[in-house]
Structure formats: C-alpha cells, structure tokens
A and B are shown apart, each in its own frame.
Chain A
Amino acid sequence: MSVFRIRFSRLCLIFCVVSLTLIQEVIADENSKGVWSGYISGQGRGFWQSPQFDDQRDGDLSLAVEPEYYKDWDNGLRAITFKPFVRLDSNDPERSHVDIREAHYLHVLGDWEWRVGIAKVFWGVTESQHLVDIINQTDLVENLDTEDKLGQPMIETTWLQDWGVVQFYILPGFRERTFPGRKGRLRTSLVIDTDEEEYESGAEERHVDWAVRLKTQFGPVDLGLSHFSGTSRTPELQPVLNSNGGVDLVPYYGLIDQTGIDLQTIVGNWTLKLESILQTRKGRDFTAAVGGFEYTFYGISESGADLGVLSEYHFDDRKQDAVTGFQDDIFLGLRYVLNDAQDTELLAGGFYDFDYSSKSVRVELQRRFSDSWKLESELQMFSDVASEDPLRTFHRDDYFQIDLAYYF
C-alpha cells in the first residue's frame, strides 16, 4: 500500500512537471531553447576478500544514466529542470534503482525565489561528514560516502539579500533511505527489509516536514544556521522476525527537531570549518560536531599543482550508541590537485576511531580524457575494525571501483 502511495505521489509530480513544460511552451519566448545534458557511466567494483554472507559476490558491474533537461525563459527568472537517474546493477536488485533527482519549476520575483517540485539542496562546509545537511535522503546503495542523494519533493522559498539568504522549506513526502539487498556487498549482517519500514509519525511517509535556513557572509566568514522539524533521514534499524522464521532489520524513522550551525573562514592558507547539530526527539537528545581545517600548499610543482592537508575531528555525545559511528574519530586527508587540462585530482583520506581503534582508508582519483570522458576510481579499505564498531559489518568489504563516464 505504502509503495503504491509513493508511486502515486511521484506520478503526480511527474504529471505536474510535464504539464508545466507544456504550459511554458506556450508562453515561452522563442529565444530560449531547452537543453539536454548529462552522463552515462559504466562502473565496475571488485571486492578482493571473500564475502561474509552466502549470496554475496566478489564484484559487480553496473550502468548508470543521468540525463538532464533544462529550459529557462525571462532571462533565467523562470526555469524548469528535469533530471531522472537510473542504475542497473548486475548483482544486487536493490542497487538497481530509478529516481527522479530533480523535477522542479523555478520562479524568481524580485528578492524572492520559489522552487516547486523535486529538488536537491546542500547545506554545510566540512569534507569528511555532512552533519548539517538534512533535506535530501541519502542514496546509500550508490556509495558508502553518503554524498549521493535522492530527490526530495519540496516547496522552497528563498529571500535573497545583500547580506545573505533566508530559505523556508515545506517538505511533503518522505524518501526512505536505500540499502543494499541480500546479494549486495557493504550491507549489514542482517538484511534490511526496506518494504517494511516503520514511522513514529501516524502520517508515516506523508508527514509534512519543514525547515528554515539562514546563510550569511561577512568578510572572509560564511555562517549558516538551520532548523529542521520532521522525520529523521537516518533510521534506526530494528530486528524483526521475517516470514522464513529468520531475523531481518526494519528501518524505523523517528520524528526529530534538529538545529544546526555551520561556519567557515579563510585565514592565509588555512580554511577552518565547523559543523554542529543539536537533535531532539522523544526521550533522547544529542549533540554532534565535526570541525577541522584544510591547509593548502599552493604551486608546489612547476605546473602549478596544489596540495591540501585536511584534518577533521568528529564528536557525538551518544558515544558508542551513535548510529553514524563518528563518535570520537579523527579524519586525516590529502588533496592533490594538478590544475592541469584534464582536471586531475587525487584525494586520500583515513578515519581513525579513538574508541575502537578501527581504521578506514579511502583513495579517490579522477581525470578527464578528451573533452567528454571522465575516469573516476576509488579504493576503500577497512582495517582493525573492532567487533563492537558499527563499521564491523563492512570489515570484509574492501573494494576497488572504476567509473568511466561519457558526458554530453
């Protein structure tokens, strides 16, 4: 039933966008043409340790497409965007998925802007964890790094001023987090049944969330303040008996209020960053923070490459109960940017958990070939993961991933 309702509400939104397209075709001036762009990518992942669970494989191949249609008129003060996303995975049916990343109409009137439809919003400043960012649900099957997000239905109202911006969000329609299925790697030991999710709100996924954000710039400082009220994007995983007599995990989405602050400033070669949240929910409040620096050595090679050294500390006062696993961890990273014609960039970083002594390392390399092809590769390793650490579930899932994408 709930699946049907979600599909239905999505259909409604698609219908809205299509009708908006048609309406604007009629009123649009002839100068503005719609533009298609996007990418198609082939991905291969290899896991070199034998899997923990029976159905898992040593690797998978997948194909992803993300086209985007954009059309504006009235000097860009009216615009529609439509951006679907599809991934087909050779192995895990849960990783094969379709999403509408964006499908919205933009209307600018003086200092006010409205965006209606499915959209993506990013809040925050830090690199190794995005604490404050909450509007969009994480598309976890895409990548463990939580940088990929699902499209969120919203009405966004923006009040743009010289000193900054105030934004109000009404968020009807909750998006459930995606999780790898039984056959997928990087999954929890018990399978997460995403068809049986539970909500604290009686309205379930139809609960209307809201949020407000203020962002301001003064001198070299960027400051953001935000508040979100509604269904948490991060579920708790609760064990339940399944029909086969085994145990599955069911995501439980509670109602929360979350206040966040993000702050960034630049002093000489230093960029200082801080994000912190205070989350309140029935019976359980917590604060979490992540903060640190990036120090950049400019022009270290003849060709003008830059080397950045990053470090961020993670804190969560739920301590070992923190579902994120970032309760007392330090991140150390290097960013090597060649500043060459191919935009070659290497990012290497590692987390160290002070409570569990667990380590994880990640290396990302990206480079463009010709003007349309881009190669991205990624290496992820976990080591010395303590049995109590939430990361334990991935301890045999070290992998190497290659993405070759054609952009158009």
Chain B
Amino acid sequence: MPLTPATALLAIVIMALVTFTTRIGGSIIMSRIPIGPKVERFINAMAGSVLVAVIVPLAAQGDWGARLGLLATLGAMLILHKPLVAIAAGMATAALWRLLS
C-alpha cells in the first residue's frame, strides 16, 4: 500500500483497533474458555521473539555505529536495568563512533 496521508491514517487506525482487541480480548476469551499453559508459553515466547526479529536485521543491515549502539544498550541493560539510561548509552555510542570514524 503506497504511503499517502490517507493510508497512513488508515494504518494508524488499524493498529489502534488491533491493540484495543488485544486489550479486551483476554477478558472475553477468559469468559468462555480459559487460556491454557501451552498458549501462554506461545504468547510469552512470541512477545520477545518479535522484538528479536526486528532488532537482528537492524544490526545486520546497519552501520557499525548502529551495531555498537545496540551493543552498548544491551550491556547497559544487563548491568543497570534502566531502559532510559541504556537507550541514551546506545545513542551516545553511535554518535561518538560516527564522530570519530
């Protein structure tokens, strides 16, 4: 679908509907059939996997600034567990690498 103001609006509305469905869906499903452990494991693993599936190609196709930035974020998260600090570390690393290279 080519990007126009109208299709962008449509895409945003669709995203909003999909998200709202997930918000109310769990309660609706639960009122009929309880969610089993297998489905729960699928959803839990999928939640992280979709992020991995976005991040890995970013690293594979990005420049070294982007790669080192991601690495800095990973390191900062593992040590400090503070997302905002980790994101700032990633940005600073990418900016610094590009400044020096």
Are A and B interaction partners? no
Interface residues of B, Cβ cutoff 8 Å to A: none
Interface residues of A, Cβ cutoff 8 Å to B: none
